[in-house]
Homo-oligomer: A and B are copies of this chain.
Amino acid sequence: MAGFARFLAVLRLFDDTANAWTVPAMSDALGVPASTVYRTVRDLVAGGFLEAAHESVYRLGPAFIEYDRLLRLTDPLVSAGRGALHDVVAQARTPCVALLSRLYNDQVMCVADEAARDTAFRPSYERGRPMPLTQGATSKVILAHVPTRQLNRLLGAPKERDNRDGALRRELADIRKRGFCATASEIDAGLAGIAAPVIVREAGVIASLSLVADDTQLDEAQRRRLILLVVSAASLVAEALRHALQPPILNDTRQRLVK
């Protein structure tokens, strides 16, 4: 392993529990000489991807916070959808969390979330956390709209496509037809998920807007109301995206090409 892979390998050492590393520890963990790791770390620090904390301990650096802000500010989906999330949690009139999630390379990730004022629970889904592809309303409604070829790639080798796979594909087709997906206790026990698709192919966006609420507090009428709320919010976001997104990208590219 060398080149860019070395940098990735160092960054991948950091996770929820191991969030501070010394160079000798990295060297051990990666099986790479210390002098090489020192050089790699020096580059990463210079780029802001790591920072030297006290006592020769390194932590993730400010570049991630900075680029994350850039994404928040410039991602068309986030800017088109943030207002909708706010409206949805306000109009839900029940403790809940609204999420905007999207397919990103080959994982589903929440890119924006907002909780209603008095919401005690927090769903597993939250901004920046990769989510399972095939579980939860949020993900399934996305998967239901992935083009077939891409779906095949995501679901893995044909070998693994056994009986379960057929059932999933039927479920996805059904979701696509209905235009929404509602589940309960599929990710978090006791929580219900309601999701609707936000599809703007021209912009490469395959996303979902979803609502997570306490399942035990939902009667049938309530549920139907929330589904309507989510579906209409999602289509508003898609419409906003279609109208706001395309011109900027074209402008931008042209400017740069000319320059």
* Residues in B whose Cβ lies below 8 Å from that of A60: 67, 70-71, 74
Per-position 1/0 for A1-37, Cβ under 8 A of B: 0011001100100111111111011101100000000
A121 at the interface (CB under 8 A from B): no
Q: Known contacts being A70-B60, A105-B62, is A257 close to B111, with CB within 8 Å?
A: no
A179 at the interface (CB under 8 A from B): no
Roughly how many angstroms separate A61 CA and B202 CA in the complex, as a whole number? 18
A253 at the interface (CB under 8 A from B): yes
Residue of B nearest to A105 (CB): B51
Roughly how many angstroms separate A32 CA and B40 CA in the complex, as a whole number? 23
Interchain CB contact under 8 A, B70 and A22: no
A114 at the interface (CB under 8 A from B): no
Roughly how many angstroms separate A51 CA and B64 CA in the complex, as a whole number? 16
Interchain CB contact under 8 A, A204 and B53: yes
Residue of B nearest to A67 (CB): B64
Interchain CB contact under 8 A, A257 and B68: no
Interchain CB contact under 8 A, A51 and B3: no
Which of B47, B48, B105, B201 touches A61 (beta carbons < 8 Å)? Answer: B105
Roughly how many angstroms separate A230 CA and B204 CA in the complex, as a whole number? 46
Interchain CB contact under 8 A, A68 and B64: yes
Q: Known contacts being A20-B252, A21-B253, A253-B57, is A65 close to B68, with CB within 8 Å?
A: yes
Q: Known contacts being A19-B252, A70-B16, is A54 close to B257, with CB within 8 Å?
A: no
Q: Which 3 residue pairs are nearest across A and B when measured between Cβ atoms?
A: A69-B128, A54-B204, A68-B68
Can you identify 12 A-B contacts, CB atoms within 8 angstroms?
A: A3-B3, A4-B4, A7-B7, A15-B70, A17-B252, A28-B257, A51-B104, A54-B202, A54-B205, A57-B249, A64-B70, A65-B111
